Amino acid sequence: MEKTLVIFKPSAIQRGLVGNILTRFQQKGLAIAGMKMIQLDEKILREHYSHLVEKDFFPLILDSMMASPVIVLCLSGKDAINVVRLMIGATNGREALPGTIRGDFSLSNQENIVHASCKEDADKEIARFFSPSEIFDWTPANTPFVYSPLESN
């Protein structure tokens, strides 16, 4: 099964949305392969957002992402990266469709509740926040009710 990284940003933590969002991922059928709460620092944020470091707004990203601890989550499932990105919606919460996480919980481009990996970055982002011993390959008991036998490989 494919794995992806999700970060519950300080905007999700401070607004008490973690349970609602986590429930959506689990109800969809995604499995939690790893999860922990951490405090991000400037060093890891410069690495994670290296493509934005030279932008004028980067200091705002630092302030936002260090405002409280975050929850990093590794989710597993068939086509997990695409599924999660569809579930979270457009980056700007004002443009995200209703029914998506950002569409339901965000009105901001920056304070947009969650980060989710793209296909090109998922493996390196998971490795940035988790050691191999913190990621679990397991099969939830509900798997036969989430996927057909032809899909579960």
Question: Read out DSSP for 42-74?
Answer: HHHHHHHTGGGTTSTTHHHHHHHHTSS-EEEEE
Strand partners, 76: 3, 31
| Amino acid identity for residue 138 in this structure | W
Distance of alpha carbon 37 from alpha carbon 40, whole angstroms: 10
115 included as an active-site residue: yes
Catalytic residue (one of 3, 48, 102, 115)? 115
Q: How far is CA 96 from CA 28, 61, 101, 111, in A?
A: 19, 20, 8, 13
Structure tokens at 121: 């970055």
Residue 145: DSSP 8-state: H
What are the catalytic residues? 115
